[in-house]
Every structure is written in C-alpha cells, then in structure tokens.
Amino acid sequence: MKKVILSLMAIAAFVGCSKSNNDESPTIPEGTYPKEITYKDGKEKKLSKETFNIQDGKILSIVKEFYGRDGETVEKKTVKTFSYNGDLPTKSVYEGDGQAYTEEYEYESGKLTKKTVTYAGGGKPTVTTYSYEGDRLIREVLATPMKYSKEGREEEVTQYNEKDFVHSGERVTVNEKNYTKFKDGKEKYVNTLTSVFTIQGGNLIHRKTESTSLKEEGTYTYDDKKNPTFSNLKKILTPSYFMTSEGSRNNILTKEITSKAENKEESKQKYIYKYTYNDKGYPTTRKEYEVKGSVEEHIMTEEYTY
C-alpha cells in the first residue's frame, strides 16, 4: 500500500521552495502526467494499476485495479474523486485500503490555508492549517481530535503536530513539535525535533533530522529528466512537498538513509533507481533496487503510460 499512498500524494510536484504558487497554473498539460501507472514486484509480477481520469488538465478521478496470482483482475474500483472550483480542487473523496474519508480545501490568493479531513466512520475531523510569508510556507499545524482514557475515565483531547519553517537560501530548517493538549490547556507527551532540508535545482539532495531519541540523515541524487509526477498541483495541495524526495523536479537515482535511534545500533539503507524514457524525456519504466552489500535486489517496477 506504500506505493499507492505515494502515488496518490504525488498528484503534482516541485518547482523549488521559493517559487510562487500563483505564477503557474495547477492544471496538467497533455502528455506530461501518466494516464496509467502499473506496479510490479521484483519478479515482474503485476500487482496493481492506477488509471487517472484527466480532463481539461484536471485529475477528476483515480481508478485502482488489483491483480491476482495469475495476473487476473480481482478488484477494480474508483478510489479517489476530485471536485473543483475553477482550476483549484475544493474536495476529494477517498475510498480504499479499508478507509474512507473526505478532504476539503480552503484557499487565500491561490494558496492552501486549511485542509479538513472527515472520516466516514464518524468522529471529529482533523484540521491542518497553513501560514505563509509571501510565497513561502512558514507554519503548518495538524490538529487531530482523539479520546484519552485513564483509570476508567475518558476525555476528549487534541493531538498536535506543529512545524515552523525557516528559509535560508537553499536550506529549509523545520522545527517540529508534537504534543497532546488536554481540556485544562496542559500540554503532555511533548516531543520536538529539528530537520534541515537542502534543495538544489528543485530537488531535495540532503535531509538531516535530530531529536533527543533519533538522528537520521538522507542523501539523494537525481537524473536530468522530467519527473512524471511533477505538476504544480502538489505545491498547492501539499505546501510542505519539499520535505520528501518524491516531489522533486527530476527522477531520483539514489537514496541513502542512515539512522540511529536511542539504545539501538546505527542502520543504513541504500536504494538505486533505473529508468527507460520516451522521446519527450519522461520515464516509461522505473525499477527500484535495494542495495545489500554488493547485491542489488530488485524490489519494485513502475510502468508509465501517457
């Protein structure tokens, strides 16, 4: 399901953290975004396929098709639909992976300022708010209502994830705070961390994260070709897109992650990616390998149809 979530999140991408959302249309030019993405495992067995219904440069829906052992279709359904006001989406509905929820979007001057997520199972919605200084994101706050139980008593609390963004040239420092706020206003279970992201040419090339219990560092390299999930819509729907490599302008070639958790040994992971391209410079296949010693283990293939 990891690949499904990434692709749904990647309905657009990265132009560089200092660019304006208003300078470029959120609509998708013909032939620049995949109409179909097929996922295969490391043995080239077909797992699933996503079909994107794109009309007038807008993604209207995403259909997911799952395959059985012999390559037969075992399930096919629409997993996400979008509603628009002009070129900007106002609502999306997701149904898949045992989840069902609706996202509603609010804007000011073309920038997303509020995202409300309501789950079909009931309960209060989660709300994410965004603040900007000019065209740069400077604050993101996710508020998640939940119930807290202790000694047989239940209390409604709110779990917060707050991020403050400091921009300096090619670097973005993100100061993050997680905590639970109780009705009396007290904050408990507080955890803080700081991450520094280095971005060059629209690509995340380095990330360093530190907290009291974790140190993690990521290094990324890219080709000079066009990322097929690159469009302006992600900048709008996911203002903190630059925090992951999936939103970069070009296609990732290598990813190396080193992490050290408290009281645990240091771990290292390395992945490499190999592509074939069409005559317009967009990938038609992407193969992902995990490097284990001197062995490159093929773990996933993605095929793109435009």
**pLDDT tens per residue across span 271-294:** 999 999 999 999 999 999 999 999
| Average per-residue pLDDT for the chain | 91
Instruction: Check whether 122 has a pLDDT greater than 70.
Output: yes
Q: How confident is the model at residue 97 (pLDDT cuts 50, 70, 90)?
A: confident
Instruction: Check whether 2 has a pLDDT greater than 70.
Output: no
Q: In 3D, which of 266, 268, 303, 278 has the Cα closest to residue 288? A: 303
Q: What is the pLDDT of residue 150?
A: 79
Q: Provide the b/e sequence for 264-282 (b: ≥16 CB within 10 Å).
A: eeeeeeebbbebebeeeeb
Q: In 3D, which of 147, 125, 110, 64 has the Cα closest to residue 237? A: 110
Q: Please state, in angstroms and rounded to a whole number, the distance separating the CA atoms of residues 32 and 48.
A: 22
- The winner for highest mean pLDDT among 13-22, 199-208, 237-246 is 199-208
Contacts (Cβ under 8 Å, ≥6 apart) of 247: 10, 12, 13, 14, 204, 229, 230, 234, 238, 241
Q: Which helix (H) or strand (E) holds 6?
A: helix 2-9
Instruction: Check whether 142 has a pLDDT greater than 90.
Output: yes
Is domain 2-84+166-305 in CATH 2.40.128, yes or no?
no
Q: In 3D, which of 304, 299, 277, 303 has the Cα closest to residue 288? A: 299
The reported pTM is 0.86
Contacts (Cβ under 8 Å, ≥6 apart) of 28: 12, 54, 57, 58, 59, 231, 233
Give the start-to-end residue ranges of the domains of the chain: 2-84+166-305
Q: Judge contact between 256 and 269, C-beta under 8 A.
A: yes
Q: How many residues does the chain have?
A: 306
Contacts (Cβ under 8 Å, ≥6 apart) of 226: 32, 249, 250, 251, 280, 281, 282
CB atoms within 10 A of CB 231: 25
Q: Is 124 left (phi over 0), alpha (psi -120 to 50) or beta?
A: beta
Q: What is the pLDDT of residue 4?
A: 39
Q: What is the pLDDT of residue 20?
A: 36
Which phi and psi angles does 5 have, rounded to 5°?
Answer: -60, -45
pLDDT in tens, 7-60: 434 443 333 333 333 446 889 988 899 999 999 999 999 999 999 999 999 999
Q: Please state, in angstroms and rounded to a whole number, the distance separating the CA atoms of residues 21 and 205.
A: 22
Q: What is the pLDDT of residue 21?
A: 38
Q: What is the pLDDT of residue 52?
A: 96
Q: What is the pLDDT of residue 23?
A: 45
Q: Judge contact between 222 and 14, C-beta under 8 A.
A: no
- The winner for highest mean pLDDT among 17-21, 220-224, 259-263 is 220-224
Q: Judge contact between 257 and 218, C-beta under 8 A.
A: yes
